[in-house]
Every structure is written in C-alpha cells, then in structure tokens.
Amino acid sequence: MKPLKVNKRIILGPGPSSANPEVLKSLSNPILGYLDPEFFKILDDVRGSLKSLFRTNDNAFALSGSGSSGMEAGLTCLAERGDKVIICSYGYFCERQILMAERLELEVIPLRSEWGKQMDSSLLEEALKENPDTKLVVATHAETSTGVKQNIQELGKIVSKYDAMYMVDCVTSLAGTELLFDSWNIDFAYSGSQKCLASPPGLSPCALSNRAYEYIRNRTKKPSSWYLDLSLINDYWGKDHIPQYTVAVSSIYGLYESLRLLEEEGIEERWTRHVLNAEKLRKGLLELNINLPISEKDRLDQLTVVTKPDHIDDVEFRNRLINDYSIEIGRGLGDFEGKVFRIGLMGESCKSEYVDLILDVFKKEI
C-alpha cells in the first residue's frame, strides 16, 4: 500500500458534503480515553451546543454511527414488536424507515403520498383518528431523495392531540433550516454530521425528549439493540457519564469544532446562507432553461432537484463532472432514478463561489 493521497473534490451532492478545513484539522488531535475527565469536558460542551442547535431543554448527544443508525435507534427504542407505527412516506429515506420498522416487526402503517410534493397533513389526522392507539409517528423533515421540505410543526400539532410519540428525520435539515425540537413537540430527532454541520460522516447527532427517555428506561422488554439503546447513550452523555461503548473520539473532536464554527456564524445566519445560495442557484438554473420539478412552496434550500434534460446521459454526465471538474453531484433515487440530478449546497459546500462554478459547468456541458 502506498501512503494515502486524497485529491480534493467539490462535493455538491446529497451528502456527505465537504467538511470545514478547521474541522478536518481538529480530527488529528491526540486520542483521549472515552472515560478521561478531559474528554468529558468536550462531551459536555458538545451536548450543550447540540441542545441549543436542536432548541431543546431535554437531551442531546451523538451516536457513533451514520444518520441511518439514528433512524434505526429511534425505531428500535420508541416502539416494541407489534406496536402500531405510522410512517409518513414521500421518498427514498422514508421507505428505508419502513424497511427497518418491518425488520423490527413493528405494525407499520405506511402513509404514502406522491414523491416530490409535501404530504398533506390531513392524511396523518385521518390515520391517527383510525388508529388512536398508535405508539409512534415518524416523519422526515428534508427528504434528500426528492428535495422536499415537510411541515414538521404542523404534523407535530396533530400528533400532540394523541398519545403517540413523534420521531423526525433531520439528517439534511439540521443546521440548514429552522428546527424547533421542543416547541414542535418532537420526542426524538436524528441527524448526520456530514451535511449542514460541515463535519465528516460518522456521527448521528440526536435530541431525545425526557418523556421518550423515560419510556425507554421503563420498557419491560428492553430494546433489541444494546448498541443503539438511546437511554444508555444518553446516560453516557449525561452528567454521570456511565460507560457504554468506546465512542468515536476523533469524530467528536470534529463535531465540537463544527458546532463552535456554527456558534461563531450564528444558527439563523447559517439558515440564511442556505436560503441565499439556493436562491442564486435556482435563478441561474432557470436562466439556463433547466427545469426545477419541485414547487416553490415545497422545496428545500439545502438540496435542489433538477430535471435531467433528455439529451443528457445520466451516468456519463455525472462521470464527466467527476473526471473533468472534480465535482460530485447526486443521481436520482427510487421513483426519481434516471430522471433528475440532485445538487446539494450544505454546510461547507454551501458557498456562493460553488454556485457560480456549477452554473458555469452546466452552461458548458448541457
């Protein structure tokens, strides 16, 4: 094996995004033990900062795993085999939730609606009316496969009329758009470090309500997963730092730095940066006569879905961008496979100069 050499890519896909250079530098700090008092200080700061970011007074932490580990942790911990779980599905990652829930033998009530559009919240209202004994409602804030934003606040109001808990996928939304955990009645939210937080992939930042924590602790049958048991993870991140497993120490250094940089920029200011660059991108794409299939009211700022022009070959075009420009953009998934490209402007990849660059390349190559 030769010494590792990695060429810089401009990552404008659905994630991971490029990481901030300061964050990358911080990964090289010497290792501390996961029970070292000095490491606990770092953990405490990260927990506090995540609580501010999620806007919660309850609990926050990061799982040593990808965003999908957060997804599975929620489904494993917040419902038991045979429990009714309503999963709002309008994209590829919602379908992954269904797949996981089925493996866990939950009684899944899939609430499927058209890909590329916000789900009508009355669908949830009806489903809960029919199934008032639902244990858990799951929704996705920013569907990375379709570029659609869901109204999580509105769904949360509906859930709060029932006894169910409310779990939200914030993988692509956290730090990129408004998210208010406590006031939107969320019980569990999970995200990924590698998107709007400008950190490398490998951690799943999460928030957990006190109610959900107590529910997990008091389950007579423990969650089938020990590694993803959110109550044990919360106990390690809590003030007593009860040991569970050896966490990804270096990745947590990176998360610390990315949260520090976020505080420096300001959370609202980062949301605004995502809005402004997305607006600039969309304007430029429309000027190039490229079609944006998602309606203005439904679309995300972090991820813009564009219709692939008929004369362009999907795979060949994306390979050309990689090989000739060292730019990565995303392909369509599921119902959108072969029909769209996905351009992500998240975290460190959310820069005005990158918007100029990708518009230039599209102008030349399409």
Where in 229-268 is the site for its own copies (CB under 8 A)?
244-251, 253-254, 256-257, 259-260, 263
User: Is 185 or 318 the residue whose CB approaches its own copies more closely?
Assistant: 318
User: Which span sits near its own copies by CB under 8 A: 5-13, 128-136, 157-165, 297-305?
Assistant: 5-13
Where in 168-207 is the site for its own copies (CB under 8 A)?
192, 194, 200-202
Question: Which residues share a beta bridge with 107?
Answer: 84
Order of strands, sheet of 188-190, starting from the edge strand that comes earlier in the sequence:
59-64, 203-208, 188-190, 165-169, 136-140, 84-89, 107-112
User: Which span sits near its own copies by CB under 8 A: 24-32, 157-165, 183-191, 291-299?
Assistant: 24-32
Q: Which of 56, 59, 64, 277 binds its own copies (CB under 8 A)?
A: 64
User: Which span sits near its own copies by CB under 8 A: 11-19, 159-167, 293-301, 356-364?
Assistant: 11-19
176: nearest Cα among 348, 358, 359: 348
CA separation for the pair 195, 257 (Å, rounded): 14
Where in 212-231 is the site for its own copies (CB under 8 A)?
222-228
In contact, 196 and 172? CB cutoff 8 Å = yes
61: nearest Cα among 39, 76, 44: 44
> With binding defined as CB under 8 A, does residue 4 bind its own copies?
yes
Q: How many residues does the chain have?
A: 366
Nearest approach, Cβ of 270 to its own copies (angstroms)?
15
User: Which span sits near its own copies by CB under 8 A: 65-73, 153-161, 277-285, 298-306?
Assistant: 65-73
User: Is 156 or 332 the residue whose CB approaches its own copies more closely?
Assistant: 332
One character per residue 94-123, x = contact with its own copies (rule: CB under 8 A): --x--xx--xxx------------------
User: Is 69 or 118 the residue whose CB approaches its own copies more closely?
Assistant: 69
In contact, 77 and 83? CB cutoff 8 Å = no
Nearest approach, Cβ of 122 to its own copies (angstroms)?
31
Nearest approach, Cβ of 158 to its own copies (angstroms)?
28
Where in 28-57 is the site for its own copies (CB under 8 A)?
28-34, 36-38, 42, 45, 49
One character per residue 284-313, x = contact with its own copies (rule: CB under 8 A): ------------------------------
141: nearest Cα among 122, 127, 155, 120: 155
User: Is 15 or 156 the residue whose CB approaches its own copies more closely?
Assistant: 15
User: Is 157 or 260 the residue whose CB approaches its own copies more closely?
Assistant: 260
> With binding defined as CB under 8 A, does residue 27 bind its own copies?
yes
CA separation for the pair 274, 349 (Å, rounded): 10
CA separation for the pair 138, 298 (Å, rounded): 19
Separation in Å, CA 62 to CA 66, 164, 267, 274, 351: 10, 24, 19, 23, 26
The count of other CB atoms within 10 Å of the CB of residue 59 is 24
CA separation for the pair 361, 321 (Å, rounded): 8
Where in 326-355 is the site for its own copies (CB under 8 A)?
328
Number of chain positions touching its own copies (CB under 8 A) = 75
The count of other CB atoms within 10 Å of the CB of residue 345 is 27
